[in-house]
Amino acid sequence: MERPSYEAVAVWRAAGETHDAARAVTALHPDVTLVSPITEQFTFRGHGQVRTLLEVALSVIEDLTYTDQVAEGRTVALFYEARIGATRLHEAQRLRLDADGLITEITLFVRPLPALTLLMKKLGPELARRQGRAGLARLIPLPSGILHAMADTGERSIMPKAAPR
């Protein structure tokens, strides 16, 4: 079996670390799908939708540094560390490649919970605005803000009391 090329993965990583959404799209198959870590309701399809998501996400994610890459055949797992303001973010990405090595599917996993809820709070309104849904953009901060406040309070105040000793 021929070893797949991981050149597109290298482009994807470099583009993420330099916040270059346009370059990241060059690593993607035209019919790429990206599955959101926030909700199963969000699957971004094609270069246009994925580029929009990347532009918004890369505008709020800071100090993105890939730390690990594991590959088996046409499946690659990437891991990075970053920040959203003072909140640390860790993301795992499962990439599926086509026979030419282009990325056809991206599934994202984010931790800890406060980072995920903050990401939802920051990205949701801008993504809605870019879809021409101004009313929704004004509504999203309310439920996402409540979820983030609960997750952040739990992380800082409640969970430390339950930590293993």
CATH number, domain of 14, equals 3.10.450.50
What pLDDT does residue 2 have? Answer: 66
Domain that holds residue 88: 7-111
Residue 127 lies in a domain: no
Q: In angstroms, what CA-CA distances link 21 with 18, 26, 81, 91? A: 9, 9, 18, 17
Tokens describing residue 108? 């994202």
What pLDDT does residue 3 have? Answer: 75
What pLDDT does residue 81 have? Answer: 98
Residue 124 lies in a domain: no
Residue 135 lies in a domain: no
Residue 157 lies in a domain: no
The residues of the chain scoring below 50 in pLDDT are: none
| Side chain identity at residue 148, one-letter code | H
